[in-house]
Structure 1
Amino acid sequence: MEQAVGESGIVNGNISQNCSEFQSYSWRNILRRSELNVQFMLLTRRNAECAQFINDGNDIENSNFNGSLPTKIIMHGFRLTGSKPSWIDDMAKELINAMDVNVVIVDWIVGATALYSSAVDNLDNLGEEVGTLIQSLIIHGSTRESFHLIGISLGAHVAGYVGHAFEGKLGRITGLDPAGPKFSKKAVDRRLDPGDAVFVEAIHSDSDYFGISQPVGHIDFYLNDGKDQPGCTRRSISSVYKHVVCDHMRAVHLYISSIKNHCPLAAFPCLSYELFINGQCVGCQYLSLRHCPRIGLLDHAGLRATIQPREIKAFLLTSNHAPFCVKHFLVELILGEIGTRNQRVEMTFLSNNYKQRSKLRLLITNKRIMKKVISHDAILENMTVVNIKLLSTWRQKAPVIHIEMLRITELPLNDRETQSRCINNMEINEVLFQELVNC
């Protein structure tokens, strides 16, 4: 999106200045990483293709900054190679397309590169510099409530430091997979927490490696189990690092997609992923909530502004590709006679054209009623048929299973009037292919 340093940029209709750019990688910079060398770059609809430096008051005066507009501040995290984050331009572009805003990109590549421990040590000073910038922007017409800090990994905790310095009066903080190493056991004043802004949200996608596992916001979104993301697979030892980065960065790419696309990324408040996936959190009436919180730019994640939940976990399933949104369904089984031993069943639900399918594997035990939440990638299509197969072993054939009722219902249950689809009185001895009908 930005041109190289030294190329002329068209600002306010005139060729007036050079386009600012991220600092270039060099070992000299890495060796000087104790010196932050922070740069602040501004993008607006008036200079969407040519960032302007706003490193001091004079820069702000001579820029397109508009204090009457909201301001989004983007802060990257640790950088192993010292390269500019590849997602920065896309995020800035989508924010500007979605809203008339000031977008400020924080370049702290020098202080963020090479050693993770050194990058962590730099966060206090970085937070002070970002806070000084915000004070300058307030002098130029902004209000504290108009700021939205978007921090990725370590950048999420920097947002927390800044918000803490402003006594939690900044408008919003979005933490995208906030960093876990060196922060999981920190006190709340040393990491992101709900007291750092009027509204704090976090999206967790790699909570077992680079991301933090505990909730750190008013609403904490956990993608799938918050750990392993669809499409991020380990095929070899050499790809383990790429796998982990894939999980860690899924929060970033999903958030960008939520700004660009209009399909809903709604989540279900629940105490744990296990309870959610086992069908115990199928609505959104949790504590004072009345609606499912949504990832994106909606104020307070689509909740009422008067609601002040803290550290509420909300779970959602996603697909393995943009725009990542799926439909959620509750599958309910009422079983008849099932025999004396555990049996495994594979259910494949197919959409109208039979091309989109969702699979569910169940271990049938002595429980008469079973519930599971599944996802369906085809947003505009309904599930119409189900293929049920008993999974027997070469040693022993599975006995017949009698299903009194199979019911599938789109979620959430309390947000809409949804017609369930059912099959009644089935006996499965090997494979059954049957149409779902309205209950």
Structure 2
Amino acid sequence: MLCRSSRCCWLLATVLASFVVCKAQPCENITDLDLKHSIIGSTLQVRLLLYTRVNATCGHLLDSENPFSEPLLNVTRPTIFIIHGYRPTGSPPIWMNWVVEAILARKDVNAIVVDWNRGATNINYLKVVENTRRVAVNLTHFIQKLQDEGVSLSSIHMIGVSLGAHIAGFTGANFNSNIGRITALDPAGPSFTGKLPEDRLDKTDAQFVDVLHTDMDSLGFRKPLGHIDFYANGGADQPGCPKTIFSGSKYFKCDHQRSVFLFLYSLNNTCPITAYPCSSYSDFLDGKCLNCTQFGSAGCPVFGYDVIRWKDSLVKMDQAMTYFTTNKETPFCKTGYKVDILTWNSEARWGYISITLRKGDQETTAEIDHKSYKFEQYTENSLLAQFDRDVQPAEKITLKYRTGNVFGPRYKLRVLRIRLTPLPLEHKLRPLCRYDLLLLENKEVTFRPIPCEWSNF
């Protein structure tokens, strides 16, 4: 007997079916070009490659005039289009197969890769921008064919990267906002910044538009475009990406490309990233935007694929700009705490705080240092501490206070109470506290936290 469980048999059946299907039809991949095509330019050609759970690693080329000549295209399944962006060197996106596989592992859908590499490969970026409209016309025609066979527009989800985000927007606009969802991953900024809504992606292009910004100071778009806009690490510089041009091509594409990897990670759903609506990244880092009462019991929205759960609330809102921070590599998610510090120095003190959590041999440190904070007598400061990993419940906590002064006197910070509340606040986990601490500048103080008194929160 080849398998002893229903799951094993299902996997075996899927593998066998995939083998049979792919044996009958050759596998297709995104067009692979090179730098010479970029120099001489490439003529636009749009190819649509279908992937399903039966052929998850074997793309089938669809006939745009007769899409249902492909038996694996099923009208009863939702359809997701994945659209790449500018390809200056002509190479296929390294992430495309990963995204397709992750989507199919998550949900039984028709995953259609929009291969417009012949048209996206051109050293003349402006020519590629012109081609985005033509790609949208092609997709509009194809979706109309799907409609003719009973496919509901609301069941269509378009995922566009960079220029692909605007292609999704143009396509959605052609259907009067009836496309179900557009996910825009760092929409291209050059040639689109300052344009009217009809000349770029806009939240009216679909029933629900969610946007991620990761490189708004270079290749991406700065202003909000969707029903919800996520600004990862403020929307510009991403942790782990090169800071100087001496790193080569990675310097130009790392921040921009991070949008894809963050979304890809959200499909795995192993460590959800909570996003917080706020008026600015600075206010978010100051811990001023950690309540999400406007979303009721649902709490703060989660970034990525699952944000659709907040659709109804977000569509009713005029605009939601949200922020979160990440690690430099997977797992990207961080563990956050709202930190409330009540001090009683007779004179005001300025400075920074670092917090280390320990549990057994595990430890993690958060530096709260994006600006110098003012600590005043009998005044409580609310700060945001974000840790690279989850160390809960903390058995020991270490605090360090510093001012950044090299030659000045060493100051003391007298703490009446420090309270660490796990985020998101909607979880209502009991905070940890400590009372009556004296912090000497640049000296660590370690203590065992205790549950806060109920009257303190």
TM over 0.5: yes
CA apart distance, 1:128: 0.3
Structure whose residues are more often helix by fraction: 2
CA–CA distance in structure 2, aligned partners of residues 91 and 13 of structure 1:
22
Q: Which segment drifts farther, 384-393 or 254-263?
A: 384-393
Equivalent of 1:108 in 105, 113, 116: 116
Contact 1:289 1:303 in 2 (8 A): no
User: What is the letter of the counterpart of residue 207 of structure 1?
Assistant: M
CA apart distance, 1:59: 5.0
Equivalent of 1:263 in 268, 271, 275: 271
CA–CA distance in structure 1, aligned partners of residues 291 and 171 of structure 2:
35
Equivalent of 1:86 in 68, 86, 94: 94
Does 1:204 pair with 2:213? yes
Does 1:385 pair with 2:394? no
Gaps of at least 5 residues in structure 2 are: 1-16, 453-457
- The TM-score, its normalising length taken from structure 1, stands at 0.90
Partner of 2:64: 56
Between the aligned residues of both structures, percent identity stands at 30
CA–CA distance in structure 1, aligned partners of residues 245 and 135 of structure 2:
35
Does 1:365 pair with 2:374? yes
Q: Secondary structure at the match of 2:251?
A: helix
Query: Mapping of 1:28-427 within 5 angstroms?
Result: 29-30=37-38, 33=41, 35-58=43-66, 60-113=68-121, 114-234=123-243, 236-239=244-247, 241-286=249-294, 291-298=299-306, 300-304=308-312, 307-337=315-345, 339=347, 343-352=350-359, 353-361=361-369, 363-365=372-374, 367=376, 368-379=379-390, 381-383=392-394, 384-391=396-403, 393-413=405-425, 415-427=426-438
CA–CA distance in structure 1, aligned partners of residues 311 and 338 of structure 2:
23
Partner of 1:4: none
Distance 1:101 1:355, change over 3 A: same
User: What is the letter of the counterpart of residue 114 of structure 2?
Assistant: V
Distance 1:306 1:316, change over 3 A: closer
Q: Secondary structure at the match of 1:225?
A: helix
CA apart distance, 1:27: 6.2
CA–CA distance in structure 1, aligned partners of residues 117 and 40 of structure 2:
11
Partner of 1:3: none
**Backbone CA RMSD of aligned residues:** 2.4
Q: Secondary structure at the match of 1:365?
A: strand
CA–CA distance in structure 1, aligned partners of residues 298 and 279 of structure 2:
16
Partner of 2:446: 433
Deviations 1:159-218 (A, max 9, x none): 000000000000000000111111120111111111011110001111111111111000
Q: Secondary structure at the match of 1:195?
A: helix
Contact 1:40 1:107 in 2 (8 A): yes
Q: Secondary structure at the match of 2:48?
A: strand
The total of aligned residue pairs comes to 428
User: What is the letter of the counterpart of residue 434 of structure 1?
Assistant: F
- The TM-score, its normalising length taken from structure 2, stands at 0.87
Distance 1:54 1:425, change over 3 A: same
CA apart distance, 1:273: 1.1
CA–CA distance in structure 2, aligned partners of residues 100 and 160 of structure 1:
24
Q: Secondary structure at the match of 1:183?
A: coil
User: What is the letter of the counterpart of residue 421 of structure 2?
Assistant: T
Does 1:23 pair with 2:31? yes
User: What is the letter of the counterpart of residue 182 of structure 2?
Assistant: I
Distance 1:316 1:47, change over 3 A: same
Distance 1:62 1:401, change over 3 A: closer
CA apart distance, 1:146: 0.8
